[in-house]
């Protein structure tokens, strides 16, 4: 049962029989169709429910999903209690931010991670490519898509947690090959390799993450971030200029990320002597922290140690290793606090060709969630104190 765009409470509870054209709600109607008292009931896109003057469907769903109430669910059309307690309700959503808190409180939250590169490749080989070949009137003996081409499509033309855009791009490739066969039926078998992908789909839409690794630089550190479409690498740049001690933050940063930057500055300022930074350096220097791709909103505390590393590098004029990425929250005492999304962040580092990842000590247990083929290529450095981060990330410190 799709809930996308549902605005009327009567869709859930039904209409009173006094109204012309009154019918039961969609819950009771579906139970009548299935003919069972204990079915599995899927409520799709529950985060797309909205309310208007006709009521709030989310409030009506409270009675449906609450195990303490749904044994006596009352549809307005039937006007008799109906037992929904034996039904297994499963709801789906893209985000929990738009789901009312009382409704979310009645559900067990299961977060499903996005597909890895290898998983997407296998889905494309086993399902998407045969499906699109058939849909476009081709035969599998006429078209071959190499593994390299699939990877090129995934990395260069899609940026998503699922495979919806991947399916579209594969469909586009198959349609263009079908046109070629229509124009020349005697044409030989078409092999789509990495070079052919660019001919068929045009210039890459998304840049190669490896291109950002240009060498060890002063005032630039590589962080790892989690987004709705998976993990990504995040370069943080710091510039220290003569001034009056002002702090400038750019790159469309959220409030939490701005606070992390100020915490990182305060920690380094408090421990300036340990790193050979003059006591008056901060009062006579303006600090500009920038996170590239300024059109993309960024937030969260997990870039704290990355910012601290870039700031210390800028003040000590010592470069940061380009083969190290990091993630973790920093405190004023220099503690490195745990973060979420380690699996996605590790996959992003692996895609970017980074071999060393600094993670909080408390996230060590989460390494088991990372696929074995990725984990074996990475060297994890655990840090409980920010000093460990600086020692492993900054050259010559």
Tens of pLDDT, residues 225-252: 887 667 888 899 999 999 988 999 998 8
**By 3-state DSSP, what share of the chain in percent is helix, strand and coil, each rounded to 5?**
40, 20, 40
Instruction: Give pLDDT, residue 97.
Output: 84
Q: Is 345 a catalytic residue?
A: yes
Mean pLDDT for all residues in the chain: 89
Based on the residue annotation, tell me whether 32 is a catalytic residue of this protein: no
Architecture of the domain spanning 10-104: 3-Layer(aba) Sandwich (3.40)
Which residue in this structure is represented by tokens 């990372």? 370
pLDDT tens digits, one per residue of 125-142 = 999 999 999 999 998 888
Residue ranges covered by each domain of the chain: 10-104, 117-201, 210-393
Tell me which long-range contacts 93-101 makes (C-beta under 8 A, separation of at least 24). Answer: 93/45, 93/46, 93/47, 94/45, 94/47, 94/228, 95/47, 95/228, 96/47, 97/47, 98/47, 98/48, 99/46, 99/47, 99/58, 100/58, 100/59
Is the pTM higher than 0.85? The answer reads no
Class for the domain spanning 117-201: mainly alpha
Decide if 11 contacts 57 (C-beta within 8 A). Answer: yes
E strands, the chain, where?
40-43, 73-74, 81-82, 88-91, 143-145, 190-192, 220-227, 230-242, 247-250, 285-290, 324-326, 329-330, 336-337, 356-360, 379-383
Catalytic residue among 302, 313, 318, 343: 302
Report pLDDT digits (tens) over 25-63: 888 998 999 999 899 999 999 988 887 777 788 888 888
Q: From first to last of the 397 residues of the chain, give the pLDDT tens digit.
A: 888 878 888 888 888 888 888 888 888 998 999 999 899 999 999 988 887 777 788 888 888 898 888 888 888 888 888 899 999 999 999 888 888 888 899 899 998 877 888 889 999 999 999 999 999 999 888 899 999 999 999 988 988 888 999 999 999 999 999 999 999 988 888 999 999 999 999 988 876 655 455 678 899 999 998 876 678 888 999 999 999 889 999 988 889 999 999 999 999 999 999 999 988 888 889 999 998 876 677 788 889 999 999 999 999 999 999 889 999 999 999 999 999 889 889 988 888 888 899 999 999 999 998 888 888 999 999 999 999 999 999 998 7
CATH of domain 210-393: 3.30.230.10
């Amino acid at each position: 049962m799709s809930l996308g765009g549902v605005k009327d409470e009567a869709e859930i509870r039904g209409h009173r029989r006094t109204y012309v054209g009154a019918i039961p709600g969609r819950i009771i109607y579906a139970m009548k169709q299935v003919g069972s008292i204990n079915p599995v009931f899927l409520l799709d896109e529950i985060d797309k429910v909205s309310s208007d003057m006709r009521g709030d469907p989310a409030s009506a769903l409270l009675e449906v999903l609450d195990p303490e109430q749904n044994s006596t669910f009352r549809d307005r059309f039937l006007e008799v209690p109906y037992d929904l307690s034996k039904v297994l309700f499963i709801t789906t959503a893209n985000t929990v931010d738009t789901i009312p808190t009382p409704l979310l409180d009645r559900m067990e939250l299961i977060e499903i991670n996005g597909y890895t590169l290898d998983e997407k490749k296998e889905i494309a080989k086993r399902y998407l490519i045969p499906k699109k070949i058939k849909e476009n009137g081709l035969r599998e003996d006429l078209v071959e898509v190499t593994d390299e081409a699939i990877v090129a499509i995934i990395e260069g033309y899609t940026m998503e947690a699922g495979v919806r855009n991947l399916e579209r791009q594969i469909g586009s490739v198959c349609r263009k090959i079908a046109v070629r066969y229509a124009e020349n039926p005697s044409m030989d078998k078409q092999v789509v390799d990495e070079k052919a992908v660019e001919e068929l789909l045009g210039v890459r839409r998304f840049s190669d993450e490896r291109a950002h690794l240009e060498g060890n630089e002063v005032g630039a550190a590589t962080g790892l971030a989690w987004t709705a479409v998976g993990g990504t690498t995040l370069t943080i740049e710091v510039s220290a200029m003569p001034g009056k001690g002002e702090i400038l933050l750019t790159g469309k940063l959220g409030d939490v990320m701005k606070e992390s930057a100020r915490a990182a500055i305060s920690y380094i300022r408090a421990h300036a002597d340990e790193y050979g930074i003059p006591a008056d350096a901060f009062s006579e220097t303006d600090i500009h922290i920038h996170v590239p791709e300024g059109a993309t909103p960024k937030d969260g505390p997990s870039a704290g140690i990355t910012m601290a590393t870039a700031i210390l590098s800028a003040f000590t004029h010592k470069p940061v290793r380009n083969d190290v990425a990091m993630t973790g929250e920093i405190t004023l005492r220099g503690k490195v606090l745990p973060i979420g999304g380690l699996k996605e962040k590790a996959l992003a580092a692996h895609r970017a060709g980074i071999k060393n990842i600094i993670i909080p000590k408390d996230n060590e247990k989460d390494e088991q969630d990372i696929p074995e083929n990725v984990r074996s290529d990475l060297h994890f450095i655990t840090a409980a104190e920010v000093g460990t981060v600086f020692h492993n990330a900054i050259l010559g410190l």
